[in-house]
Structures are given as C-alpha cells and as structure tokens.
Chain A
Amino acid sequence: MALLRITAALVLVWAARLGAQATRASEVQVKAVFLFNFAQFVDWPPEAVPDSQAPLIIGILGGDPFGDFLDATVRGERRGARPFAVHRYQRVDDITRCDILFISRSAGDAPEEILARLKNRPILTVSDVDRFAERGGMIRFVTDRSRIRLQINPVAAEAAHLTISSKLLRVAEVITPTGR
C-alpha cells in the first residue's frame, strides 16, 4: 500500500507540473477574450457612438457563463479613447445601449425572436447557440475538437450597418444564409 501511495503522489506531482506549463485554457476564458478582441475588428456606424469617450459596452443576455473573467479581461482596456464596460441583461427590453451582445444559451434556444427584436440596431450579436449564424446571428463560437472556431454571417452584420474587418473574416467560416 505504501508503494501505491508513493506512486500516486509521484503521478500527481508530475501531473501538477504539466498543469503549470498548461497550454489549455478554459473555453469561457477564451470566448471572453474573443469578445474583447472583436471590438478591434468591427466598425460601428457613427450614430451608434454617442461621443468619442462613450464606453464600449459588451453585454451578456441571460445567464453569465464568464463569471468575472470578462470584467477582468476588459479592465483598464480602451478602444481609442473609449473604455470598455460589461453589462448584464435579463431581457431584451433591458438592453439600452450595447455594442457587442453575447446571447447566452440560457436566454433561450430560439435566438430568432431575440434577433428580431434587436433588428437593425447596430449591435454585434455573438452566441454559441446551435446554427446561430444560419439563423440570423452575426458570430457564432463553434467548439470543435477542443478548439474554438468562428462562423460569421456578414449579411446580418451589414444589415445592422456594422463593418467586420476582412482580417477577421479571413480566419472565420463565412456563413451565407440562402434565400429569405
């Protein structure tokens, strides 16, 4: 038994060392950093920016999967002169001004309704809900073989007068919903 315990302890120390030199990050952390980065790759129409100092608001609709990680990510950061702020919303009606909106899975499995109510507002909509981009959302996170891919629907972004940088489009899978 003593031998077993020693072996187990050794295995643990070894595993902990591996953990320390980790290359894996938690899925929600990486998604939070993506949300922050999107601000650098999207241009909003002038009417969406009340003034050059107005905070750039990242909103979360529904349950917050990020904990305080999104807040930590944007703390002290700016886009030009605009500081970042994180807002949390329970309902679509609560959304006053928002630049990037993450729609949580808990906000419902029919994003069509939420998107319809946001229609044409200059808000970058992001979610990991199934087929979000096909269903009229702008950016979907796809977790595939432990990596996060992006699906982007540029038509939806154009409809809201947002310009998504070609740098972002190049690394993403572009989704073009057919028909109407």
Chain B
Amino acid sequence: MADMKTVAAATAIVFTLGLVCFTPLGFAQQPESAVSADSLKKLSIEQLMNLQVTSVSKRPERLSQTASAIQVITQEDIQRSGAASLPEALRLATNLQVAQLDSRQWAISARGFNGTAANKLLVLIDGRTVYTPLFSGVFWDVQEVPLADIDRIEVISGPGATLWGANAVNGVINVITKDAKDTQGLLLSGGGGTEQHGFGTVRYGAALGPSVRARFYGRGFDRDATAFPGGQGAADDWYLGQGGFRMDWDASSGTRVTLQGDLYDGRIAQDSGGDIAVSGRNVMAKWSHTLSERSSLAAHLYYDRSHRDIPGVFGEDLDTYDVDVQHRARLGAGHDVVWGLGYRLINDRVVNSASLAFLPSHVAREWFTGFVQDEIALVPNRLQVAFGSKVEHNVYTGFEIQPSGRVNWTLSPSTTLWAAVSRAVRTPSRVDRELFAPAQPPYFLAGGPGFHSEEELAYELGYRHQQGSLALSVAAFYSRYHGLRSLEQVNPPNPVPLVIGNRQDGESFGAEATAEYWLTNRWRVRAGYTELRVHVWPNPGSTDMSRGATESQAPDRQFFLLSSVDLPAHLGLAAWFRAIDDINNQLVPAYAELNVTLTWHPTSKLDLSLVGQNLLHSQHREFGATASPTRRDIQRGVYGAVAWHF
C-alpha cells in the first residue's frame, strides 16, 4: 500500500502543478511577453548569438511525414530525461508502447501488438534497418547508439509502408545521428551508479580536408542485473563495448557523401547457462546528388553483420546487404514525385539446439522493392495530397502491394489537418514458417508452411498546431487486420501440437496526443497521452485459443509529463513522470514512475548530471506473464555523469 501512496503523492504533485498553472494566479508568463522586441534589438549580433533560446521541436519538412502521426524526440529531450539507453529514450514518444523486461530485453511497438518479438515496427538508424528476419523484430540490446550523437528521433505511428518498406505496419522509428560537422573536437564522458554500474565514451571529431569532417568514438558500459519479484537479484548483468565513425564530405555544392560504421561486442550473464555473447559490425555509404533544380538522386549501400549465441538454446550469424536508390523530381506545376528501387540480401545461419530449431538452419533470402509517390499541391501551401505505393517481392509470398493516400490541409500557418488511408502487410518471417520445437519430431510447435502475410487497412486523422511557444498534435486511428498469426491446435481439444496459421482477425483504435509548451522562458513542459484498444479474434474454423494474447500485449492508456526548468547558477532540473495502465492479458498491473535529473554546466565545456531513475518504487514490473518464474522487476537506480567538451 505504500506503493499506492507514493503514486498518489506523485500524481497529486503533477496535477497540482498543472492546475495552478492555469489558475488566475497567472504566474506563468509566455516568452512573447517576457522579452520585448526592443530589448532584443539593443543586443549586438554577438550577444544575440550567445542568447539561450527556447524552441519547440521542429516539424519534419516532407508532407509524407507531416501527414502522419509523427512525434520527434530531440537531443535536449534525451538529455533532460536522464535516459541511459536508446530504448529508454523512446519512452519519450507516447505514440510508442515501451516496456522493459529485464536488464537487456525490451518490448517496443506502436499501436499495440507489442511483445518481446513485436513484429510490426520498422526501426532505422541513419537509414539502416535493424530488424532481424528471424521474427521481424529488433534485438534492442545491440542497438546502443551513443545518445550524445543523436540529432533527433522521429517516431511515426501508423503505417509507413509506402515509403519506408517492409515491417512499417504500425510504425517507423527513425534514429538520425548528428552530422560529423556538429561533433567536432574532443568529448570525454563517463559515470556510474547503482543500475548503470559504469559507462564511458571518448569521441573525437576533426576536419580531414577542406570539406570533409569526421568523428570517431569508442564507448563501453556495464549494467546491473534486474531483480526477481521477491527482491532477490537476478543474474542478467551485462557489458558491451562499441566503437565507430562517421565521415561527411561535401564533395561539391550538390554532392554529398557520408560513410559510417560501428563495431560492438558484449556479454550478457544468465541465471542458468553460460553467458550470451553478442557482437556485430556495420558499414554504410550514402551518396546524394542534385541533378538540377528540379531533381535529385540519392543512394545508400550497407553491410551489417550480427552474431548472437545463447548457449544451449540458439545461435545466429546474420549478414545483411542492402542497396537503395531514390530519385526525386518536380514535374510540372505542383507535382513532386519520389520513386526508388531497393534490393536486400540476407544470409542467415542459425545454430539449432535440442529444444528449438529453424529448418532449414541456413537460408539466403532476397527482397526486391520499388516505390513511387506523387505529392500534388492542389492549392499551393494550402492543400496537398500524396498518393503512392510500394511493391515488394519476397520469397515467401511473392509480390505485395502497399498503397497509401494522404491529405494535408493547412488551415493557417500554424494549424494543419491531415488524413490518411493506407494498406500495409507484415510479410512472413522465419519464425512463422521455419520454427520447430523441439528440434526433432514429434513437434509441439511447427511453423505453418502456408503462412501468408498479415494485412492491415488503416484510417487516420490528425490535427497539428504550432505557434510560438506551443506545439500540439493529436492523431486518431482505426485499423482492421486480416490473417493475423494464430496458433492452431492440430488435434483439438489437445493443447499440443500447434501449427502456426493466419486465422485471426483484429481491429485497433485510439488516439495519441502530445504537447510541448514553454510556460516561461526557463520552464518547458512536454506531455503525452495515448488511448489504445486492440481486439483480436479467431476466424470461423480456427482452433486458436489464445484470443490474441500471444500477438498483442499493450496497456489501454499511458501518460507522461516531462518538466524541465533552468535554474540560476547554470543548474537545470527535470522531472519525468510516466503512468502506464495495466496490460490485462498479462496481469501486469498499472504503474507510475518518476525520473529526476539535475544538471550543472559550470562552464560551456563541462556538463555534470545526477539522475534518479524509477524513483517511486524500489522495484516494479513492466512486462511478462505473472506466473513466469523468469519474470524480472525493474529496480530504482541512481547514477552520476560527467562530460567534458574540448
């Protein structure tokens, strides 16, 4: 019951703060009235450049993105939140469902259908797809982008399949790192604490030529284990070392080349069995060229290798080769056409164990994609529509077509209404067709030889307002799903054997709202709220008994509030409160947590911070079946960090 009191107290603080802000006391001043044009005009150019400014997250420039439910996480948000890893930072987008399972595993999805093997979200790091073809999901433990190098994270909920490709059924996460030009000089940072045992980064950026800038980094961390519900420690502590580079070359006024790559190696302890070993590397080349005032060409090429060995259970070596070309041209009056072609080859070698097997264990698979989209300005700067489709070929189901139509209506310079209808598919992954447990017959669980794509038809409507110190956006959606994955009993009512099928349908609906507001010039508040309902049901003839419990594990609602204040003496204080409803098909109760970050920048070269994470409870659960003996709780943590910029 002590827990409930803390939640109540924290909620009271947040709401009291919220209420008082809007009472006639009117302490909160808008920046417009606080700084007059006259006082700013008295400043010299140098003084203007030294002035700290407040800004709301920039909206992306392309219509295809603005006519969708996009939330942007900025570098400043990440710093203020005290997030220590990419998945934690993703909690700042309320159009995502984010839950931590243990020290390294996360369940992350948009618009429901969450799970440890969530398969309807596309994650890109600087354009490189980081999903595994095993289950069309993401191994979050090896996506450790250095947070200081992130420029912004764009999170789009809803189908992005037309432009972004396979897997963008319910959302796209686009992690964009900084240009090498913006990370020049030496950065040394490090710290440690209770859950974040220790971490350190060295980054060096330099000019390699008149128009070539590069950065190199190396980092490592050691993270503490989580705890069992009884309080005793689990043994899932782990460490990872990573290094990489990025080089940006402005070859000519219209040509730009980027080369980047990363290398990592880590070990994760387990309660039973030997350590999990993970390692990988990737290298990517990007080229863009302006052909004329009306057309431009861009291409990228990457290679990604990942290795994972879970002793006695599963091992995998995956090589991915990807090439992508995109051409953009303005045709006639108001037509902006983008089209592209892509090819991807994967070479996947799995080491099977007695308990589970992917058969065949070694596959090489190819994907071919092509897309075209036309953005038409019906009334310039007022009414725009975009139509397009992606055509993809995969070895499992052949050709798949994913069209979409979008409308963007600018009511005023600060207000936009948008609507979209899209079709997206989740194509089969290896799990759906090639997974067998145990490795030898008789199987309890077998992949479905006829498993086909899951289909979605989504309707979305959104409103966005951005003016001065306020940015507000709301998106509502309704989606229908056909042929969702089901577990069919072969000999009902016997619970096993099971064969994977497509005999479930479903629907989801809800709304996502986010707002950012500068209450005063030093006090910024960012809040988000999401309502979500997902229903999954078996089709006639199906013998699935799961009722969607294996496909979607997501809370009905979630809320967050990030409040950050600049204090005198170069101090900053931020509080980040989140409240997540229960996951009813997992018996995970509702919870509320609070992070508090205190920062101090005594000089422009030195940043000090003290972060308290998940402060409201000594431990809490976010995901996983209650009955499972392996379920872990996430513990309260405190860490300190120092960063020097030279």
Contacts and interface: CB of A to CB of B under 8 A. Distances in A.
A109 interface: yes
Interface centre among B34, B43, B46, B567 (most CB of A within 10 A): B34
Given A19-B519, A148-B53, A26 B28 contact: no
A13 B254 CA distance: 53
A143 B48 CA distance: 12
Interface centre among A1, A9, A19, A117 (most CB of B within 10 A): A19
A37 B521 contact: no
Given A27-B53, A110-B330, A148-B53, A178 B252 contact: yes
A4 B37 contact: no
Contacts of A107: 381
B55 A171 contact: no
A54 interface: no
B628 interface: no
A15 B523 contact: yes
Given A63-B381, A106-B381, A178-B250, A25 B12 contact: no
Contacts of B545: none
B524 to A, nearest CB: 10
A16 B27 contact: yes
Interface string B298-312: 000000000000000
A179 B250 CA distance: 10
A77 to B, nearest CB: 8
Interface in A45-68: 62-65, 67
Interface string A90-133: 11000000000000011111101101110000000000011100
Interface residues of A, number: 71
Interface centre among B12, B49, B469 (most CB of A within 10 A): B49
Given A15-B27, A26-B518, A113-B293, A146 B53 contact: yes
A41 to B, nearest CB: 8
A175 B165 CA distance: 36
B410 interface: yes
B54 interface: yes
Contacts of B9: 4
Contact residues on B (Cβ < 8 Å of other chain), bracket: 35 or more
A35 to B, nearest CB: 11
A135 B253 contact: yes
A12 B518 CA distance: 14
B48 A180 contact: no
B32 interface: yes
Contacts of B31: 22, 24-26, 29
A65 B210 CA distance: 34
Contacts of A148: 48-49, 51, 53
Interface stretch (B14-22, B385-393, B480-488): B14-22
Nearest to B42: A33
Interface in B82-125: none
Contact of B12 (A1, A29, A62, A167): A1
A16 B25 CA distance: 11
A147 B522 contact: no
A22 B16 contact: no
A115 B12 CA distance: 54
B313 to A, nearest CB: 45
Nearest to B21: A12
Given A12-B17, A178-B251, A23 B32 contact: no
Interface in B368-413: 380-381, 410, 413
Nearest to B469: A26
Contacts of B29: 16, 19-20
Interface in B32-89: 32, 34-35, 37, 40-41, 43, 45-46, 48-55, 58-59, 61-62, 76
B182 interface: yes
Given A22-B520, A24-B54, A73 B41 contact: yes
A9 B20 contact: yes
B565 interface: yes
B294 A113 contact: yes
Given A12-B20, A22-B521, A147-B50, A69 B37 contact: yes
B290 A8 contact: no
Contacts of A8: 13, 16-17, 20
Nearest to B294: A113
Contact of B253 (A105, A150, A177): A177
A63 B61 contact: no
A27 B466 CA distance: 13
B252 A37 contact: no
A91 B55 CA distance: 26
Interface centre among B43, B290, B468 (most CB of A within 10 A): B468
Contact of A178 (B28, B61, B253, B381): B253
B189 to A, nearest CB: 15
B34 A22 contact: yes
A36 B41 contact: yes
Interface string B134-147: 00000000000000
A160 interface: no
Contact of A150 (B49, B210, B251, B522): B49
B17 A11 contact: yes
A177 B250 CA distance: 8
Contacts of B381: 62-63, 90-91, 106-107
B211 interface: yes
Contacts of B319: none
A105 B57 CA distance: 13
Interface string B273-291: 0000000000000000010
Nearest to A74: B37
B296 interface: yes
B26 to A, nearest CB: 9
Interface of B: 9, 12-13, 16-17, 20-21, 25, 27-29, 31-32, 34-35, 37, 40-41, 43, 45-46, 48-55, 58-59, 61-62, 76, 182, 210-211, 250-256, 290, 293-294, 296, 328, 330, 380-381, 410, 413-414, 467-469, 518-523, 565-568
Q: Which 9 A-B pairs have the closest CB atoms?
A: A19-B520, A16-B27, A179-B252, A109-B61, A22-B521, A177-B253, A116-B293, A27-B55, A24-B521
Given A29-B40, A33-B37, A109-B61, 5 more contacts: A25-B34, A37-B48, A106-B410, A112-B254, A179-B251
8 contacts: A25-B53, A91-B380, A110-B328, A134-B256, A136-B253, A147-B53, A171-B46, A180-B253
